[in-house]
Amino acid sequence: MGACLAASPLSAGVHPLSSPSAAFSWPPHPAHLSTRRRVARRSRLSAVTVADLLNDVLSHRERERLGAGADEGQQDVDREPGRLPALPESYEFGEVVDREALLRRNVDDGIVAVVSHREAESIVDSYHSLDGPSEVSVTVDLGLREMRLLLSEEGVALLDHPDRILASWEELGDIVDRGRKGRGGCYELVGDGEHKPQRVASISESTGRQAALIPPLTDNGAPTMLLAGFAMHRVVSDSSASPASKRRSSPADDPLATARDRKRRKDREDRQKRRTRGRTRPSDDGSMEPWKDTMRKLESLGPGGVMGRVLDICTGLGYTAIAASREEGAPAVLTIELDEVSLDMCRRNPWSRELLTSDKITMLRGDASELITELPDESFSVVIHDPPARALCKEGDLFGEVFYSELYRVLRRGGRLFHYLGNPDGREGPSLYKGVMERLSQQGFWSIRKVPRAFGLVARK
């Protein structure tokens, strides 16, 4: 590699960054970053490798500009995520969510299990295949666990309380019919024998928005949340993405890709398999489901994965916070949510249970555009900004320059940002991505690039 660099424009004095005394400006001019393509063509290095080299050079120059006499304590904070500034214990513009209270509410409500319309259909089919009342093992909680139940002539009951009917056959039949008509949902089974199956849905007291859990399109698995008519996760087939997006997202299609690039991608895929083993069920038809959508966001951060403290903006159902907390390199995750109806959906969603039990996760409720002003400078190594549709972001501007400047402030030097924006090939995609990339660059972010597979972009500080 040294021989290749010796013949490259970087070492030959063509590029302004080649000389230690060369003038330096921050953020780097786009012409500086475009050098990676010229170097890649002339020296046969991959574009990714050259980008990494330029990133190292620019980071070194930034440290020189800020002052070579920085104390060792500050350098240790930059290197060691565990020594990042402490977070506040209380907040003026929000509050820490009492997760234990949410868990206790589930117990007080007597919720035994949650079933989708597919699981209800499976229970009905099991009953029709039996000669009489029998104990059977059925799948509940959208594929997360199995449960022994009594199937009697009256309906489904608990083994230790056969007189308490969780759901009659007529009620389960109605759930199945709704699913066949395209109105599928998730339903709570209450163990007191008095309540009918309740659909997991609610209305926000503060915003008036309706929310409901919707199971995956093709199989059991992590549900998505329908909020005011907007799905909070991608649930459409990957085949709907344009061929151009697929080509851009694959290093194998890059003529400059090297064995190192292919190895990095294979390592990422292997890590994803280890993280999701036993937690998700594979989809045979290539369809997108919420957990797969979440993992693509984390993979977009690069080969190193999630390292250091994480800020997750817009909790939703908490899948991003859960996935980040499972990373060995993430000591803590702070997640912010505005609407209490989303927290209620988390409480009632079996796939969000880890959000309420993980020791690594802290939940805040409040407007992220206000709460972020109370967070210390350079207090996070990774920021995942996953806002809902812009039509739902009326309480705070989560796409403006002021908010982006706060993201830059709380992110440590060398930290990474993932920003979800939606389909880059959609009707508003090109203009939306262009505007966001320009505003991020104006605040000091650099190495900004689209990640079509994750429907977003990544940037570095």
**Residues 225-237: pLDDT tens digits?**
998 888 888 876 4
Q: Are residues 152 and 95 in the same domain?
A: no
Domain presence at residue 445: yes
Domain presence at residue 77: no
Task: Provide the Cα torsion 16, 17, 20, 22; round to 10°.
Answer: 30
Q: Are residues 305 and 334 in the same domain?
A: yes
Distance between CA atoms of 362 and 356, rounded to whole angstroms? 9
Q: Are residues 63 and 123 in the same domain?
A: no
Q: What is the DSSP string of 58-104?
A: HHHHHHHHH-TT--HHHHHHHH-GGGSPPPPSS-SSEEE--HHHHHH
Q: Do the Cβ atoms of 43 and 5 come closer than 8 Å?
A: yes
Q: Are residues 28 and 171 in the same domain?
A: no
Domain presence at residue 344: yes
* Nearest of 312, 449, 314 to residue 393 by alpha carbon: 314
What is the span of the domain harbouring residue 51? 2-67
Percent of the chain with pLDDT over 90: 53
Q: Are residues 247 and 343 in the same domain?
A: yes
pLDDT tens-digit series, residues 125-171? 999 988 778 899 999 999 999 999 999 999 999 988 888 899 999 99
Helix or strand holding residue 404 (H, E): helix 401-410
* Between 13 and 376, residue with greater pLDDT: 376
Read off the CATH number of the domain in which 379 is found: 3.40.50.150
Whether the full predicted model's pTM is greater than 0.75, yes or no, is no
Q: Are residues 146 and 94 in the same domain?
A: no
Q: Do the Cβ atoms of 461 and 411 come closer than 8 Å?
A: yes
Q: Is 314 left (phi over 0), alpha (psi -120 to 50) or beta?
A: left
Q: Are residues 300 and 448 in the same domain?
A: yes
* Nearest of 315, 131, 283 to residue 216 by alpha carbon: 283
And the tokens for 131? 């000669």
Q: Are residues 318 and 449 in the same domain?
A: yes
Distance between CA atoms of 93 and 112, rounded to whole angstroms? 36
Residue 391 has a pLDDT of: 64
* Between 353 and 35, residue with greater pLDDT: 353
Q: What's the chain's average pLDDT?
A: 79
Q: Which amino acid is at 265?
A: R
Domain presence at residue 230: no
Q: Are residues 308 and 456 in the same domain?
A: yes
Q: Are residues 120 and 259 in the same domain?
A: no
pLDDT at position 177 over 80 = yes
Q: Do the Cβ atoms of 403 and 369 come closer than 8 Å?
A: yes
Q: Residue 314, exposed/middle/buried by CB under 10 A (0-12, 13-18, 19+)?
A: buried
In degrees and rounded to multiples of 5, residue 57 shows phi and psi of -65, -45
Q: Residue 107, exposed/middle/buried by CB under 10 A (0-12, 13-18, 19+)?
A: exposed
Sequence-distant (6+) residues with CB within 8 A of 320 are 294, 297, 298, 312, 335, 384, 386
Domain presence at residue 17: yes
Residue 133 has a pLDDT of: 84
Distance between CA atoms of 10 and 111, rounded to whole angstroms? 64
pLDDT tens-digit series, residues 343-390? 999 999 999 999 999 999 999 999 999 999 999 999 999 999 999 877
Number of domains in the chain: 3
Domain presence at residue 196: no
Domain presence at residue 453: yes
Q: Residue 407, exposed/middle/buried by CB under 10 A (0-12, 13-18, 19+)?
A: buried
Q: Do the Cβ atoms of 76 and 83 come closer than 8 Å?
A: yes
Q: Are residues 49 and 92 in the same domain?
A: no
pLDDT tens-digit series, residues 47-63? 444 444 455 444 444 44
Q: What is the DSSP string of 253-321?
A: G-TT--HHHHHHHHHHHHHHHHHHTTT----TT-B--HHHHHHHHHHTT-TT-S-S-EEEES-TTSHHH
Residue 103 has a pLDDT of: 92
pLDDT at position 207 over 60 = yes
pLDDT tens-digit series, residues 307-343? 999 999 999 999 999 999 999 999 999 999 999 999 9
pLDDT at position 400 over 80 = yes
Percent of the chain with pLDDT over 70: 71
pLDDT at position 248 over 70 = no
* Between 247 and 377, residue with greater pLDDT: 377
pLDDT at position 285 over 50 = no
Residue 132 has a pLDDT of: 77
Q: Are residues 391 and 279 in the same domain?
A: yes
Distance between CA atoms of 109 and 192, rounded to whole angstroms? 9
Residue 263 has a pLDDT of: 72
Domain presence at residue 120: yes
Coil, strand or helix at 418: strand
